Amino acid sequence: MASFNKVIMAGNLTRDPQLSYLPSQTPVVEFGLATNRRWRGANGEQREETCFVDCRCYGKQAETFNQYMSKGRSVLIEGRLQFDTWEGPDGQKRSKHRVIVERFTFLGGSRGGDAGQRPQPQPRQRVQEQPQDSPPPEEPSDDIPF
């Protein structure tokens, strides 16, 4: 039986990322993502629904995500669904789906987040390929060497 497990979502963080470490010292970051869907109902009324999704990211990516993201910031994530089950303190079985993030892309703008937290890129320095006093490179000749 064939199977395919791929999730691609864009949305805003519902809370600041929470960074922790596994006993193996692997970084793990957890965060919530909200996506909105807007449509017109049968009566022409504008409708909106929000979907809240728990996400988890591992490794160096987790540290990077934690460093640059905060509540309200926009992100595009790509990953897979994982189904977790556990027993609650009351003895009841609990379960939920979460997205295990494999790749992400920071998106511009923020909704309520502190846009000042993200460092601004430094301007690139121009690299002079050839000293000012050196002669210009020779023009290629029409002779073909082969």
DSSP string for 2-48: -----EEEEEEESS--EEEE-TT--EEEEEEEEEEEEEE-TTS-EEE
Distance CA 36, CA 77 (A): 15
**Is residue 119 in a domain?**
no
Count of residues for the chain?
Answer: 146
33: domain range?
Answer: 7-112
The CATH code of the domain that includes 57 is 2.40.50.140
Confidence at residue 108, expressed as pLDDT on a 0 to 100 scale:
80
Confidence at residue 145, expressed as pLDDT on a 0 to 100 scale:
52
Confidence at residue 146, expressed as pLDDT on a 0 to 100 scale:
45
Confidence at residue 1, expressed as pLDDT on a 0 to 100 scale:
87
**Is residue 138 in a domain?**
no
Long-range contacts of 94-97 (CB under 8 A, 24+ apart): 96/54
Q: How many CB atoms lie within 10 A of CB 10?
A: 12
**Is residue 15 in a domain?**
yes
Task: Convert the pLDDT of each residue in 47-57 to its tens digit.
Answer: 999 999 999 99
Residues of the chain with pLDDT under 70: 109-146
| Structure token pair of residue 59 | 């490794």
| Structure token pair of residue 49 | 């629904």
Task: Convert the pLDDT of each residue in 19-40 to its tens digit.
Answer: 999 999 999 999 999 999 999 9
**Is residue 12 in a domain?**
yes
Confidence at residue 82, expressed as pLDDT on a 0 to 100 scale:
97
**Is residue 143 in a domain?**
no
What is the reported pTM? 0.70
How many domains is the chain partitioned into structurally?
1
**Is residue 126 in a domain?**
no
**Is residue 124 in a domain?**
no
Sorted by sequence, the CB contacts under 8 Å of residue 34 that are 6+ apart come out as 11, 12, 13, 14, 50, 51, 52, 53
CB 124 within 8 A of CB 81: no
**Is residue 58 in a domain?**
yes
Distance CA 114, CA 73 (A): 8
**Rg, C-alpha atoms of the chain:** 24
